[in-house]
Amino acid sequence: MKKRVLVAEDDANVAFLIKDGLCDLGASFEIETVSSGEEALKRIDESKWDLVVTDHRMTGITGLELIKAIKAKVPATLTILMTGFGSDEIEQAAQQLQVYRYLTKPFPLIRLKQVIEEALAYTQNTEPPPPNNQMPQPLKITLGGDGNVGKTTLIKRLCTGKFDAARVMTIGVDFHLYDIQHDSHPARLIVWDVSGQDQFAFTRRAFYRGSKAVGLVYAVNDRASFERLPLWRAEIRAILPHVPFVLAGNKSDLDRQVTTAEGQALADAWGIPFLETSCLNGQGVADFFRQLATTAIRFTTMQSC
C-alpha cells in the first residue's frame, strides 16, 4: 500500500506545483493537498496520514500551530515545515516540536521529494527518527560579490569536485547543500549564492537573513570586483549587523589585477580570514568552505550563549 502524504499550502499555485511536480518526478507515494491548517486537521481526523507537509505562513492557523495540534492528536506523525520567511525563532520552534525537516523556500522540488522519501523510510522502521543532536547541524551560509567572480562555480567545485567553465547568470538566488564533518560532528552547509547583478539587489536582501556566515568573493583578475567589496559588505551589514565574514580572492590561476598582499591587507583591516581560490585546479576551495563552516559554528555558539 502506498504511503500517504498530506500537504497544507494556502497558495493554490504552489499547491498545484507541489502535487503535480512530485507526480511528474515519479513520486511513489500518494499526495493530497489542502488550502488551510483547519482543513488539514479535519482530514487528519477523517483518515490516517504517514506524513504532513505544511507551509508556515497560511491564512488561519500557522504551520507551527498546525504541527502542534497534530502532535496532540497523533504524536507519531512526522511533519515537514516549509517557509519563505525563515528565522532563528521559527527554526528553534520547529526543533522543539520535533519537526522532521525545516525547509526554507526557495528549494528545488527534487529536494522536497528526497526529504519526503527519507521521512517515509523512517515510518517503515520500528525505530523513531534520530534525535536532533544526531542530525546534521544546518548552517546557512551566503556568498556575496559581483557577478562573474565565480561564486556558483566555487560551490559546484566543492560539491562535485569538477570545474565547469560554462556560466549561467544566477536568477536572483540559488542554494546548494553540502554535508561536512566538523570536530567529529556532522554539519550541513546550506550555501546560498545571491546574484551579483544590480537588478537583483532587492531580492538579495531578503535572503541574507538567517545567515551564520558570509563569504565575500572577488576575482583577482577583475579589480572592479575587488573595489566594490565595501559596497557588498555595507549592504549585508545593513541586514545582518553582526554576521561574520570570510574573504576569498577567486580565479587565482588567472593573470592578476589584484595582488595577494592587497587581499590580505583588506582582510586584516576588516579583521576577517582571507584565502585565495581557484575553481580550475581546486586550490583553496575546500579550505574556504571549511573556514566558512568553522566561522558559522563559532557564531552560532556565541548566539546561543
Mind spelling out the 3-state secondary structure of 87-152? Answer: CHHHHHHHHHCCCCEEEECCCCHHHHHHHHHHHHHHHCCCCCCCCHHHCCEEEEEEEECCCCCCHH
Radius of gyration (C-alpha) of the chain in whole angstroms:
21
Let me know whether 80 and 179 are in one domain. Answer: no
Domain total in the chain: 2
Put simply, whether the predicted model's pTM sits higher than 0.75 gets the answer no
In this structure, the answer to whether residues 60 and 113 fall within a common structural domain is: yes
Domain CATH for 206: 3.40.50.300
| Cα 101 to Cα 188: distance, rounded to the nearest angstrom | 13
pLDDT of the residue at 166: 42
Does residue 123 share a domain with residue 17? yes
Kindly report the length of the chain: 305
Reported as half-sphere exposure (CB side, CA atoms, 13 A), residue 61 has a value of 16
| Domain's final residue, options 134, 169, 195 | 134
With a cut of 50, which residues of the chain have pLDDT below it? 125-126, 128-129, 131-133, 163-173, 196-197, 199-200
CATH at 74: 3.40.50.2300
Cβ-contact 155, 191 below 8 angstroms: yes
DSSP for 34-45? ESSHHHHHHHHH
**Statement to judge: residues 111 and 164 lie in one domain:** no
Cell 522532521 maps to which residue? 100
The predicted structure's pLDDT at residue 196: 45
Residue 153 is predicted with a pLDDT of 79
Same domain? For 168 and 287 the reply is: yes
98 shares its domain with 143: no
